[in-house]
Chains A and B, each alone.
Chain A
Amino acid sequence: MELKEIADRISEKFAAAGHPIDRAKLEEKINRFVEEFSVPPAEAERSIIGDYARQFGMELPSAGPSKQDADSVIPISEIQAEQWVTVEGQIVTLIPSRSPSVAQSGVIMDSSGTMRFTVWAKANAPVMEQGKWYRLESAVADEYNGQVSLKVHSGTTITELSPDSVPEPVITPLSEIKPKQWISVEGEVTTIFPPRSPSIAQSGIFADNSGTIRFTVWASANAPLLEQGHWYRLDLVESDEFNGQLSIKIHSGTKITPISRDEMPDIEKTPVGELSPGVALVEGKVVAIEKQYSDQILQRGVFADDSGAVRFIIRNSPGAEPLMENQWYAIKGAVVDRYRGALSMQINPGTATPLLEDRSIRPNIIPVAQAGPGIVCLRVKLVQEYENTSERIFQSGLLGDESGTIRFVTWKDDMAQRLVPDMVYSIYYASVDEFNGRLSVTLNGATLLPDEGATIQVRSPNEEVKGAFVHLSPGSGLIKRCPVEGCGRVLSRQNYCPIHEIQPNYIYDLRVKGWLDDGQKTYDTIISREGVEELTGLNLITAQEMAENNPLGLDTVFYHVNEQILGRYLICRGKVFDNRLVAYNCEFQAFDAGMLAELMNRAEGGSHE
């Protein structure tokens, strides 16, 4: 029998090393692993040998490292420190040498990535030129401050690659640019900003059909001035990331080629609902004009067609003209950008052509749960009104429909319209913003149509969340609350309430604070006393006794609760707001045999191999 063989092998092994093992104990151990915990015999053997070896202080042999050869060309992105490598790449920049021991240094690139390199003066290597391709044989990679770089020394062979073996540069769509790349791009200079530093010649926004990106032209590049509204092809620009924002840098190695009108890629008309950042041709109607807030902006409003709506903006630049409300326009070369998650369309002078026809638009009303940053149409009622926290706010609160709820705000202006509780409204072209991960609808500028007599059943906030309880936070278990009427805040260790200071006559309570995680989303969860009692079988009285009779005090209850619920699957019912869950009722999840059958079928489903 197999288990017996394992026992034989193990006891022989240790007996040979002068450590006899109690056979009965060993067999019991193996049994426990294999029978009780269904650990495969090989793993059990390994584990038990390890245990005894440690007990007797024996060393177990481990696998030795293997070697790698340096002959084949390796992609630059895969180079690691302390390696001898052969690479083929293009010299994208040369950096003036600051030390007599360095002949050349710069950046080399291949299709996989870029790397700094240094050629030692002692290497007597041929001088490499910017823009050309070379093969470097037996260079060595080393690491300084976490950055890997390539060193060319006397043992390295450098050969220039012939032009036909050099790969053709590919144009990268702006939306696919990643930081720290050397790439070629094509697009329109849509905006130019005044340079803010003498080292910068020009900066602005560059756009193609796929997206927009900021660009910077270094003064040291000695590049011709780019003109707003013109198309260019830029070869060998460097992409960069700062504060999460991508940009491209034009330096002395960049080749700038203007593209004439006929070479320009055609832009097809895009439905407003399908816009993404970049340059676009759109047709639609001005459905709302907002009050403007600044001198730099000539007009702001909402532009819509049947597929959706977008906020537009016209800057106060020479030649700019406002659009007319309720008029259809074709807009050529509209520049679409994203701000706080929402799209916004910039209309440049001379790009809007009025259309004669007036097509009707059916505003596309969506459920609240589907609302995202941008312009939306909703059919909702006022569920809750908040107290105003700012003088600028006219009204704020919570709107809801059958699918859920969303915050709203109406700022003070002379057109502001107050919503009446429980009245159903159709709201056209309101803008939704995202701030700190929370959505909010602004009603200024939107059309609000009350529908008297209509009713909506707003989705009850009582929801069920199933997940694993992955973290119990401090402030869980038995807690003390402030006894002042209407306060009930949790007291800190010194019985201190943040409002009412020291409170010796506190009230005990039970609760759980922590994170419930369903594998996709994590809920900042508070389970009330009822829920904790249900889960742990502990009630307030027994918890108090536990704390009083134990030197650890309140911590005892914390550890007790932690031991019972951490890492367990729970079903909690309560109110969900964003990622917060306030649960009144909780239970442990039982094993669901029906789910097992269902998953078995599903796992079977797609495997046709």
Chain B
Amino acid sequence: MLFNSFEFVALVLVTFGLYYLPFLRRIQVPILIAASLFFYGYTNPKLLILFLVSVIINVTTSYLVVHGLPQRRRAYATVGVVMNLLILAFFKYSPLFGRTFFPPGHSVGEFLAYVPLPIGISFFTFEGISLVVDAYRGRDIPKYRSLVAKSITRHAINTTFFVAFFPHLVAGPILKAHDFIPQIKEKFFGELDWQYCYKALVTGYFLKMVIADQLNHHTFWIQYPYFETHSTFVLLTLLFGYSIQIFADFAGYSLIAIGVAGLFGYQLMQNFNFPYISTSFSEFWRRWHISLSTFLREYLYIPLGGNRKGQARTYFNLMITMVLGGLWHGAAWSYAVWGTFHGLALAVERFWRDRHPAPEKPSVLRQILSGLLVFSFVTLAWLLFKLTDFGHVIKFMQALFNNTGFSSYMAIVVYVALYSTPVVLYHLYYLYKTHNPTHTLARRAEPYVYGLMFFLIVTNSGIGTDFIYFQF
């Protein structure tokens, strides 16, 4: 069920109506669980089987970690993490494994190639890992001890809700148990922050429906063989457009998720923080898909040793984290290459900074050049998301260099520029706000800007498409 569908709007309205009825207040969480399971199984009820199996594994292992035999805590936690990873590996990477390691026509390879990819699996398995690991860490971190309730029934309800809560279920933000579970309690209609929800929903729907969905039909031309026919200038424009589109699509999704969760009294973590103003790669990863980058940092990079084991090991840890982070996105080697590129960028940047520390107050010119460098690199790397066949990536790069003499189809340029402008302004406005904390004029204009966005959502939306991150 898409966020930009009437079915979804109906589901939210009905759930919202029931949720705040005073006589149903005690079953608010079960109401949300029922709505979430309906949401997830709406187009394919069979998906619920795997989802519930995953939930049962996480409920059991996390409960045993806290309330089972103390000497077996580590074993229970290991089993929980491994089971989550096995589910993810089997359903997500079987096709890649089958295509890579078996000859065409081989029965095992054929079987693996057709293992279906359940939507949202990358997200709910990571959340399961977060729960098991946080439960295990409860021994050292006092506030984590309350994550697993004494009653197995209560724990099962909390866990199911934590993983299934529909705004974040299929494409994040990836929740961490220690952030979300403490929020589970009765919610009151009077405590609703309407402005927060409205702003998140309007911005989210605007980014998705007006920007990403409109750009989607122009960046279509990045597909093989169509890019062969376009000039270098148009190809660069399309790359820029795709960079804007993927941001608008995913940041839009995340904001809708945050807004809808807010309607039910829950706060999800911010997933994007104006990533395209980043002046370094490390800053980019603090601003882009924050829930994934913080997950990788907390549950992979730091346990690997982070930057505590010397320089060489730090670079290695960065690389391994980014390669695995790349592969998390999809079962194609192009994602691993994408992760490797970013890992290399982070390692090289760190190496450089260790030897040439940046000045305390870098000049504006230096910041602009750094920002352009980071944006250009990130944008070029998105090509590996759009073209998962590596051969096509190489052909695209060849076209980029060879098609200099082609005539440019200016309509594409005009529309990409038109629909990218709001995202550019969105980032510039953030910069303006950062440097002018009072920004009275901008604050006064805000209601009208939101009104304009609302108007454009109604009158200027593109043809609805799946969210890009649904495939991950």
A associates with B: no
